[in-house]
């Protein structure tokens, strides 16, 4: 299958591109490199530098590269920032998504995979969180993804575009020592903790230790980026059976303290940690129920062990202590 991957130079997008190409699919990456990295681009993927805000650029890309499917990762994704600047996320994510969908329909694309979010559920009414959990987005970012999911419903209803909306929990780990996580600013827990081990931070802050959890710190469901990539490919090739939505997670929750302790064990560094105030809106526990995708597509996370996840991330950070731009020569 020939597919277009928006945001294919980013963290999750680049992992999915690698998996697609390994499986024999032909990939065109469309990315403005505002958050992605040239060094993360797969050498066998065609690359088009462009912005989804530019409808003409999307039309030109799809005219030059007729594709059967689109996998959409390009997005503003910082939940906290979206609370401070809601129009930046609602405006960018929705307008750009609409541009992409309109162009896709006009060019006859009939498969679409959306990188959605577990932030659709805000403060969930039950744990573990399955696809039937009440949707009440916890931020403008989450709202923007829900709007895109609703748009896709109508693309299917009106134009027969089959879609899958994949709702992520905490993406983590590295596909290899050469393909990993490089954000600016970094907001994800595991990279922040590993930066302490690298000597780039003095300590890591634990936001609250008085939650109703075994050790008082928040519990989250961490899913390896390679497992996310596998889920995308399975969903893409299953769309002939109809549109679908899936929650993606390992099904196991780990606390902030457990993550820090595992990083200490893997790195051999003491990793000082200090307790700070709770962050507004942080639920005590977020764990996914991925039963639907397991039953329908046979997806099963290979990296459901926290130590293995951290080891893969640590291998990446050791070989790229300053990200793609500051790669340590082999």
Enzyme catalytic residues: 141
Q: At what angle do helices 86-106 and 55-64 cross, to 10 degrees?
A: 40
Instruction: Decide: 144 and 101 in contact? Cβ < 8 Å.
Output: no
Query: CA distances (Å), 182 to each of 38, 154, 186, 226, 250, in order?
Result: 12, 35, 7, 16, 22
Q: How far apart are CA 64 and CA 301, in angstroms?
A: 36
Query: CA distances (Å), 307 to each of 206, 271, 319, in order?
Result: 20, 16, 18
Q: Which of 325, 288, 118, 312 is nearest to 226 (CA)?
A: 312
Instruction: Decide: 83 and 140 in contact? Cβ < 8 Å.
Output: yes
CA dihedral 166, 172, 175, 178 (to 10 degrees): 130
Would you mind telling me the total number of residues written for the chain in this entry? 330
DSSP per-residue letters across 252-277:
-EEEHHHHHHHHHHHH-----EEEEP
Element (H, E) at 207: strand 204-207
Supply 223's token pair: 């899913």
Buried b (16+ CB within 10 A) or exposed e, 161-174: bbbbbbbbbbbbbb
Instruction: Decide: 78 and 32 in contact? Cβ < 8 Å.
Output: no
Element (H, E) at 117: strand 111-117
Supply 184's token pair: 């600016």
Q: How far apart are CA 67 and CA 50, in angstroms?
A: 17
């Amino acid at each position: 299958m020939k597919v277009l991957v928006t945001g294919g130079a980013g963290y999750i997008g680049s992992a999915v591109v690698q998996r697609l190409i390994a499986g024999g699919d032909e990939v065109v990456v469309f990315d403005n490199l505002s958050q992605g990295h040239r060094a993360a681009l797969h050498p066998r993927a065609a690359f088009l530098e462009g912005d989804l805000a530019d409808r003409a650029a999307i039309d030109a890309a799809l005219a030059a590269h007729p594709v059967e499917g689109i996998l959409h990762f390009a997005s503003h994704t910082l939940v906290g920032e979206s609370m401070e600047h809601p129009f930046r996320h609602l405006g960018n994510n929705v307008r750009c998504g609409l541009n992409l969908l309109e162009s896709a329909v006009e060019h006859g694309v009939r498969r679409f995979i959306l990188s959605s979010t577990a932030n659709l559920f805000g403060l969930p009414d039950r744990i573990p969180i399955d696809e039937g959990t009440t949707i009440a987005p916890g931020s403008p970012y989450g709202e923007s993804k829900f709007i895109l999911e609703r748009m896709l419903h109508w693309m299917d209803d009106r134009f027969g575009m089959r879609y899958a909306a994949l709702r992520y929990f905490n993406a983590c780990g590295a596909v290899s020592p050469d393909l990993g996580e490089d954000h600016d600013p970094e907001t994800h827990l595991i990279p922040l903790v590993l930066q302490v081990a690298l000597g780039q931070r003095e300590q890591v802050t634990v936001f609250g230790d008085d939650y109703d959890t075994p050790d008082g710190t928040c519990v989250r469901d961490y899913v390896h980026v390679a497992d996310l990539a596998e889920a995308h490919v399975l969903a893409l090739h299953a769309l002939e059976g109809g549109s679908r939505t899936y929650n993606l997670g390992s099904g196991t929750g780990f606390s902030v303290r457990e993550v820090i302790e595992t990083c200490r064990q893997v790195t051999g560094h003491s990793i000082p940690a200090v307790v700070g105030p709770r962050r507004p809106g942080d639920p005590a526990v977020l764990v996914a129920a991925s039963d639907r995708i397991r039953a329908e597509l046979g997806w099963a996370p290979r990296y459901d062990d926290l130590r293995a996840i951290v080891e893969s991330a640590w291998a990446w950070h050791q070989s790229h202590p300053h990200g793609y731009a500051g790669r340590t020569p082999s």
